[in-house]
Amino acid sequence: MTEKIFLGDSTSATFVCPKCERSRTSDISRILTAKARIKIKCTCKCGHVFPVFIERRKYFRKTLDLSGVIYSSAGDRKYIMAVKDLSQSGCRIKINTSFPFALEDVVQVEFNLDDNDRSFVSKEAVIRSINGPLLGLEFMEIKKYDKIGQYLMFS
């Protein structure tokens, strides 16, 4: 299994060997690139070699497939969407129809989480990326202990 390390704004990472549990903290600024995710191989003093993904994201991102709707900023039309991944600060969604959205548009997304309560989420977001039918959204407001935060921490 590949270990994941989340850096946020840091340039140092702590690597823990899955075999002997020995840890080492290293400055990794020289290997950081523009990519959000980097895969490297670590060699422990015990000789064990293991893969590690270094995530430059501030928040953990969970892969999902939840249905919901997205509204244009005017609120006049809604489109069916699927939430493909979710983090504290945003989400990636997929829309199967052509849509009139552009970068920096403000939209409203609504969906239910797949937790026990089927928690309803309604968030205002800014479109930060468009890649075919996939939209990268950044939430306008981030609350650490809202439904999304609890969901990501406990499920």
Are 89 and 59 within 8 A, CB to CB? yes
Which whole number is the average pLDDT over 73-96?
Answer: 88
Does 125 score more than 90 pLDDT?
A: yes
CATH node for 61-154: 2.40.10.220
Specify the DSSP element, H or E, that contains 150: helix 147-154
For residue 119, the model assigns a pLDDT of 92
Q: Which two tokens stand for residue 37?
A: 């995710």
116-151: b or e for each residue (b if 16 or more CB lie within 10 Å)?
eeeeebebebbbeeeeeeebbbebeebeeeebbeeb
Does 7 score more than 70 pLDDT?
A: no
- Report how far apart, in Å, the C-alpha atoms of 22 and of each of 27, 38, 124 are: 17, 22, 44
Q: Where are the beta strands (DSSP E) in the chain?
A: 3-6, 12-16, 23-27, 37-43, 49-55, 61-71, 78-87, 90-94, 106-112, 120-131, 134-139
- Residues 14-67 have pLDDT tens digits of 788 889 888 888 887 777 665 666 788 889 999 999 888 776 656 667 889 999
- Residues 134-152 have pLDDT tens digits of 999 999 987 766 788 787 7
Residue 108 makes CB contacts below 8 A (sequence gap 6+) with 70, 71, 73, 75, 122, 123, 124, 125
Average of per-residue pLDDT values in the chain: 83
Are 94 and 66 within 8 A, CB to CB? no
| Residue 72 CA, distance from chain mean position | 22
How far apart are alpha carbons 1 and 20 in whole angstroms? 15
Give percent of the chain with pLDDT exceeding 90.
36
For residue 40, the model assigns a pLDDT of 83
Does 83 score more than 70 pLDDT?
A: yes
For residue 78, the model assigns a pLDDT of 87
Of 25 and 73, the structure prediction assigns the larger pLDDT to 25
What are the structural domain ranges in the chain? 3-55, 61-154
Which pLDDT band holds residue 3 (cuts at 50, 70, 90)? low
